[in-house]
Amino acid sequence: MGDQIMRKQFLLAAAATAALSLGGIAAANDSIAEMTAGGLVLKNSRNIDMLDEDLFVSADEIRVNYVFRNQARADQSVIVAFPMPDRNLSEEGESDISYVRDFMTTVEGRAVQTQVERKALLGTRDHTALLTRLGIPVAPPIDYVEGRADPVYAAFQRLSARGKQELQRLKLIEYSEADQYFRPQWTLKETYYWSQTFPAGRDLRIQHRYKPGAGGSVGSVLAISSLRNDPETRRYMREYCVDQAFMGGVERLSRASGGSQIVPETTVGYILKTGANWRAPIRNFRLVVDKGRPDNLVSFCGTGVRKISPTRFEMRRTNWRPDRDLRVLILSPAPPMAPD
């Protein structure tokens, strides 16, 4: 089977030299949900407040601690959902993408067994039932190693000619036997969820921790002076609230690399907007972003951000409904060149 058919996942250290990196959103705030015939649907809560959210974000770990309070007179048993970043399978063969791993949930210090709902969407159309009926894995593993057969490709090859034609007609699969090319085209949406009882009038503490799906590139577009006025680069800078002070740091990193304009970058994200799904604004919100090393650069959008250690930055808000998601950009010094 050709290299194009073998879909492999690359480590961040082997990031491609694409001009713009792919930085996935790492995960999301808890949100009330309900199971419907179409799957998991997030709902606003009429009785439960998110009193406190303490969020720690780095390229290696995300930790979030919540304090909730049920303001109703009776216990409330609801489904709590935690949506994960989308996986666009059409991009996985050519991009350096990592995904959330080691997801753990505790309630009042005790581990909770979460379930996961998976959907395969192409545009707005849900094809999960069709793929399941045909025996095609909706969620292929994310830990391919070289020489390990792609289970989606293997399942596709077991189909009848009619089944293969149906998947190609629906544009769920791009396939050319002559060109040794195979690529799934759907987007996988995953949501972790569990049933939780919120006791009446009492606080409930929930924690999540996991390794985020960081994006990255060995060469940030921001270090390439000829591209800085490109509309796409300007949009990228606005997305991470890059300012002149940060760009001054980029220049220093570029000079330190011998003027090669190779400045490695890492991007991490977190979906904050679902934190607005609770009854009232978040009473106390605290964010700590850790850039990893003192000589790294970091940029993200926030107000009242202050430096609290050589690598950590803090933002606090009160009575807050988040209206945008968090995107964190980290640039690092280029590794030393190996001697000839």
Structure tokens at 283: 């009473």
**What sign does the dihedral 140-146-148-151 (CA atoms) show?**
positive
Cα separation, 118 vs 136, in Å, equals: 13
Please, which pLDDT band fits residue 111 given cuts at 50, 70 and 90?
very high
Alpha-carbon distance values, 249 to 164, 297, 327 (Å): 52, 7, 19
Residue 180 gets the label, from left (phi > 0), alpha (psi -120 to 50) or beta, of left
* pLDDT above 70 coverage of the chain, percent: 84
pLDDT at 298: 97
Strand pairing report for 187-198 and 115-122? antiparallel
Side chain identity at residue 252, one-letter code: R
pLDDT at 3: 36
pLDDT digits (tens, 9 = 90+) for 64-105: 999 999 999 999 999 998 888 788 888 876 555 667 788 899
pLDDT over threshold 90, residue 145: no
Q: How many CA atoms lie within 13 A of 19 on its CB side?
A: 9
Structure tokens at 272: 């904050």
**What sign does the dihedral 156-160-163-164 (CA atoms) show?**
positive
DSSP 186: P
Cβ atoms within 10 A of the Cβ of 329, count?
26
Average pLDDT, the chain: 84
pLDDT at 95: 54
pLDDT at 130: 97
The dihedrals phi and psi of 119, each to the nearest 5 degrees, come to -130, 145
- Domains of the chain as residue ranges with CATH: 12-331 (2.60.40.3680)
Structure tokens at 9: 């996942």
* Residue whose pair of structure tokens reads 């195979």 in the numeric block: 182
DSSP assignment of 123-145: TTEE-HHHHHHHT--SS--S---
In Å, the largest CA–CA distance within the chain is: 73
Please, which pLDDT band fits residue 147 given cuts at 50, 70 and 90?
very low
pLDDT over threshold 60, residue 18: no
Cα separation, 121 vs 86, in Å, equals: 10
Cα separation, 23 vs 186, in Å, equals: 19
Query: When comparing pLDDT for 85 and 292, which is higher?
Result: 292
pLDDT digits (tens, 9 = 90+) for 30-42: 887 766 666 767 7
